[in-house]
């Protein structure tokens, strides 16, 4: 079962993976994101927020819990955040 603590840990890991993707020049500037399926209906994914800094500066706060349809999968998850257009690929 996924708990809030587990989600926080996973957000940190995904944010680190996003920064690594940028550091290795595998994605340019603001482009690119990494996701993790949480269960059969939800995933954690890097979203664009009110202060978009780019992939190299991704923080755990940029990693949001969304449904496969791109909707917020928990209260407050997408307030001010936008899932990537490529979400269906995940």
Helix (H) or strand (E) holding 14: helix 4-23
| pTM, rounded to two decimals | 0.88
Check which CATH number belongs to the domain holding 32 and give it: 3.40.225.10
Write out pLDDT tens, residues 1-50. 566 678 999 999 999 999 999 988 887 766 677 899 999 999 999 998 88
Write out pLDDT tens, residues 48-84. 888 888 889 999 999 999 999 999 999 999 999 999 8
Q: Which pLDDT does position 1 carry in this prediction?
A: 56
Beta bridge partners of 63: 46
10 φ, ψ to 5°? -65, -35
Listed residue (22, 14, 18, 34) closest to 86, CA to CA: 34
**Phi-psi map region of 29: left, alpha, beta (phi>0 left; psi -120 to 50 alpha):** left
- Where in the sequence numbering do the catalytic residues fall? 86
Q: How many helices (H) does the chain have, and how many strands (E)?
A: 1, 3
Structure tokens at 77: 């998850």
Residue 69 lies in domain: 4-89
Total structural domains within the chain? 1
């Amino acid at each position: 079962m996924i708990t809030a603590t587990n989600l926080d840990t996973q957000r940190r890991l995904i944010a680190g993976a996003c920064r690594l993707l940028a550091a290795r020049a595998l994605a340019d500037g603001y482009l690119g994101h990494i996701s993790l399926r949480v269960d059969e209906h939800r995933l954690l994914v890097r979203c664009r927020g009110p202060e978009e800094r780019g992939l190299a500066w991704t923080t755990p706060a940029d990693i949001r819990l969304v449904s496969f349809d791109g909707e917020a999968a928990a209260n407050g998850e997408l307030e001010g955040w936008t899932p990537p257009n490529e979400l269906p690929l995940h």
